[in-house]
Chain A
Amino acid sequence: MPHWLSLMIESLPSLVWACLLFTIPLTILSFVLGLGVGFLAAVTRLFGPAPLAALVRFYVWIIRGTPLLVQLFLIFYGLPSVGIVLDAFPAALIGFTLNVGAYTSEIIRAVLVSVPKGQWEAAYSIGMTWAQAMRRTILPQATRIAVPPLSNTFISLVKDTSLAAAITVPELFRAGQRIVATSYEPLILYIEVALIYLVVSSVLSSLQARVEKRFSRYGGFIEAAS
């Protein structure tokens, strides 16, 4: 067996373990929480009182205008100076959640607006409240439109979690770095790490296709001209 192959096989368990234990949980948790933040932010911007909407715009502006790595450093290394000391994983989770929240709020806002106004009116005309119209009429239609852009965010996030290595979260990339530190084989190890990311994001892409198919069962949207 060639040296590179035995090294890859040898290091595979600890890399996969780091992926399962940190990369994937960090991705899923921060995506789910981030979607919640993004939804609240989008609804506040669209329907909330002006001062709150302005606050949300400020939040989105800060997050989108600064590097994610800098945000993570601020949370993990910066906040202790004001007495807030977080473990690496929670710090990363907060950082990624805020990041996902800001980006998805823009997506969610756009898809909510893209549902024709006549659909709100139709929902109101049969007596629904705002919340019922949102949940039963608007969200199901908006969700379908949101699947491709949100999947994009999700797949980017998987790869972005490698930045958590810089604040000591022992996820996939950091696990690779540690093996490199003892084996002195960066080329082989980083190729292996890259391949694992590739496998994970390919699986997610195929899931996206499944979800899109499920949502397309009711055919095209009716043109709503009003």
Chain B
Amino acid sequence: MITLDAIHKSFEALHVLKGVSLIVPEGGVTALIGPSGSGKSTLLRCVNLLEMPQAGSVRIGDAAVAFAPGSKVSRDAVLALRRKTGMVFQNFQLFPHLTALENVMEGLLTVLKWPRDKARGRALELLEKVGMSPKADAWPANLSGGQQQRVAIARALAPAPSVLLCDEPTSALDPELAAEVIEVLAQLAREGTTMLMATHDLRLAATIASDVVFLEAGEVVESGPARAVFETPSHERTKRFVSTLSGGAPIRDPR
């Protein structure tokens, strides 16, 4: 379980997160939705401390880091927390000087100091899982966006993190390529991978999220089970946001 408590984050004068508290249940997929600039990406990046909050605390399982103005957190605490997470970026950010396979192996070799053979075995398994084993030896520059993102998902999963953080995982992709990434994420969701994702892609959120948090101007407006938030939002603001995104049509496919 991930617990964020009263997270505050400012960039100079801009107060981006105003005391956000959030619980991400284990085995579920929590979608962070909200307009541009609402702070959802920043909140996500506060979970693995790519952004350091000024106040509040982050706990993942037994690793916790608390922030307060003027106090410094230890490097080891940051690393311990970060190593419980994996992250998928909007722009993939594969290492361009490594092949697909080497990208997935990198964390296992460098951080976890696994022997090469063992890392290779694990990486091949993960590439298989995301449907990229035929391209194991390809350079990132020779892969499509959707393929790069699937390799990036395998890389993030390699050290078996407690939570997979996804920052707009499909928004740099055209719909067809986005679909192959959504399929992989949906499969992971069915297998019970805990995920927290920031997204504007309502198709993505509606397909795989079990819980939804609606964020606006650095505050949580509404949160709850995905079905409830999408179909019967209790706040006017959420209602408007959900209807703009779906263009008035029902979001959930009748399945």
Contacts and interface: CB of A to CB of B under 8 A. Distances in A.
Interface string B1-25: 0000000000000000000000000
Contacts of B142: 219
Contacts of A221: 96, 141
Interface stretch (B86-94, B188-196, B244-252): B86-94
A121 to B, nearest CB: 5
Contact of B95 (A127, A137, A225, A226): A137
B111 A220 contact: no
A127 B83 CA distance: 5
Given A136-B106, A225-B172, A125 B87 contact: yes
Contacts of B139: 218-219
Interface residues of A, number: 26
A125 B111 contact: no
B158 A121 contact: no
A220 B97 contact: no
Interface string A91-133: 0000000000000000000000000101101111111110010
Contacts of B85: 125
A226 B106 contact: no
Nearest to A133: B110
Contacts of A121: 50, 87, 89, 93
B158 A224 contact: no
Contacts of A224: 91, 93
Interface string B108-128: 001110000000000000000
Interface residues of B, number: 36
B159 interface: yes
A222 B159 contact: no
B153 interface: no
B98 to A, nearest CB: 8
A57 interface: no
Nearest to A137: B95
B111 A119 contact: no
B141 A126 contact: no
23 contacts: A116-B93, A121-B93, A125-B48, A125-B50, A125-B82, A125-B156, A126-B86, A126-B111, A127-B79, A127-B83, A127-B112, A129-B79, A136-B110, A141-B95, A144-B97, A218-B97, A218-B98, A221-B96, A221-B141, A222-B94, A225-B172, A226-B91, A226-B93
Contacts of B165: 125
B148 interface: yes
Top 9 closest pairs, chain A to chain B, by CB:
A126-B107, A125-B87, A122-B93, A219-B141, A127-B83, A127-B111, A118-B93, A218-B139, A140-B97
B155 interface: yes
